[in-house]
Amino acid sequence: MTDSRPLVIHVVFSFDVGGLENGIVNLLNHMPAEHFRHMIVALTTCAPGFTQRVRRSDVEFVSLHKPPGHGFTLFPVLFRMFRDLKPAIVHTRNLAALEMLVPAWLAGVPVRIHGEHGWDHNDREGTNRKYQLVRRVYSGLVTRYVALSRKIQTYLQDKVGIGAGRIRRICNGVDARRFSPAAGRQPLSGSPFNDPSLRVFGSVGRLQTVKGHAHLIRSFAAFVREDAEAARGARLAIVGGGPLHAELTALIQEEGLDGKVWLAGERSDVPEVMRSFDVFVLPSIAEGISNTLLEAMASGLPVIATDVGGNPELVDAGRTGLLAPSGDIPRLAAAMRQLFHAPDAAVEMGRAGRARVLAEFSLDAMVGAYLSLYRELVSGVSAPRDPAVQSRKALP
């Protein structure tokens, strides 16, 4: 029996732990299933453990196992896929997937959406002129852009030259039922910092350069070296896996922080992790609209974030948290010191942050915005001639 729902193929570099990927998970899990079918295509790999976070049984996952180098080699594979499956929409995300709109266009996919979620450490704040040019070259293939922050929207208009009418700003949303406050900091399974007398600063994110964990560790070291009370009572937990684990472990030892910093590794119980913190810290070098920052705010945590990307759109400085320049060790240390010594003010910031999430960054609003965009763009487009999707975990 064929399925008449239009197919949306989401193309990403990888489908593994990360803010962009979490946003897709939230979208698929909460978008009403009767409107669209979905497939996730990762240029590299769909991590089996991460795919289990998608609760819908009708979502297909395809891993293309792209080798290092240019993505042109995948064009024939993707052309055949798009030609055979006839999706109503191909939705690429970030620069690494942008060029995959070429085979989508060649295969006659009628709606091609490109999402810009943020920049990485090679292009802080979108200043790289080469990347601006690349985006401009491919812009003719894009039906509509999705910008996840006001800053990215401005970048697309001013630096890439995209008309305002072709851009839809849709901020990430957070599940405020799943991420909710507790009455005080809660113990966490496996944590060495469950002593209620401690004040725990925490961060959640993949251990890669762009997330700035080395800056966070150095800032925490400066904070506790200069504050005897903090040396006794402040602790730092960093949750997430990634390629920098060994490097960060060495840095902790180098800074004399053994017993004061815990690299917790990757965990699946992030709501419980958030409730085990007193203060959340996001030390990113570059950022879009951070799902993790929104989750912390929804959990009622005061937040400290670097003043990059979409962070200033989320953090109302002085009311819901504090901002510090990226890479500024003294300023980040000072922000931690301020909230360590003002726990009552920190609690009030956490309450204000959750209220802001409920008012402006709800999951329902995000899902509704994507659903509206998808339905608007496919209206008037003929249904695929062969809508049946063959189950496939990898392509030859």
pLDDT tens per residue, range 76-130: 999 999 999 999 999 999 999 999 999 999 999 999 999 999 877 678 778 899 9
Helix (H) or strand (E) holding 324: strand 321-324
Q: Both 351 and 367 in a single domain?
A: no
Q: What is the pLDDT of residue 386?
A: 36
User: What residues make up the domain containing 239?
Assistant: 199-360
Any domain includes 2? no
Q: Both 367 and 353 in a single domain?
A: no
Give the three-state DSSP class for 47: coil
Give the C-alpha separation, 204 to 189, whole Å. Answer: 16
Q: Residue 66 gets which letter from DSSP? A: P
Any domain includes 348? yes
- The CA distances from residue 142 to 108, 259, 313, 337, in Å, are 13, 51, 26, 46
Q: Both 322 and 366 in a single domain?
A: no
Any domain includes 190? no
Q: Both 320 and 366 in a single domain?
A: no
Any domain includes 100? yes
Any domain includes 146? yes
Q: Both 130 and 254 in a single domain?
A: no
Q: Both 212 and 344 in a single domain?
A: yes
Q: With contact defined as beta carbons under 8 Å apart, do 85 and 9 qualify?
A: yes
Any domain includes 394? no
Q: How many domains does the chain have?
A: 2
Any domain includes 393? no
| Residues facing residue 280 across a β-bridge | 202, 303
Cβ-proximal residues to 133 (8 Å cutoff; 6+ apart), any chain? none
* Residue whose C-alpha is closest to residue 373's, from 146, 151, 171: 146
Q: Both 265 and 368 in a single domain?
A: no
CATH value at residue 72: 3.40.50.2000
Q: Both 162 and 225 in a single domain?
A: no
Q: Both 256 and 130 in a single domain?
A: no
Give the C-alpha separation, 384 to 90, whole Å. Answer: 13
Q: Both 369 and 353 in a single domain?
A: no
Q: With contact defined as beta carbons under 8 Å apart, do 80 and 58 qualify?
A: no
Any domain includes 191? no
Q: Both 59 and 129 in a single domain?
A: yes
Q: What is the pLDDT of residue 340?
A: 98
Q: What is the pLDDT of residue 286?
A: 87
Q: What is the pLDDT of residue 387?
A: 36
Give Rg (Cα) of the chain: 22
Residue labelled with tokens 């009767």: 34
Residues of the chain scoring pLDDT < 70? 1, 121, 380-396
Q: Both 160 and 293 in a single domain?
A: no
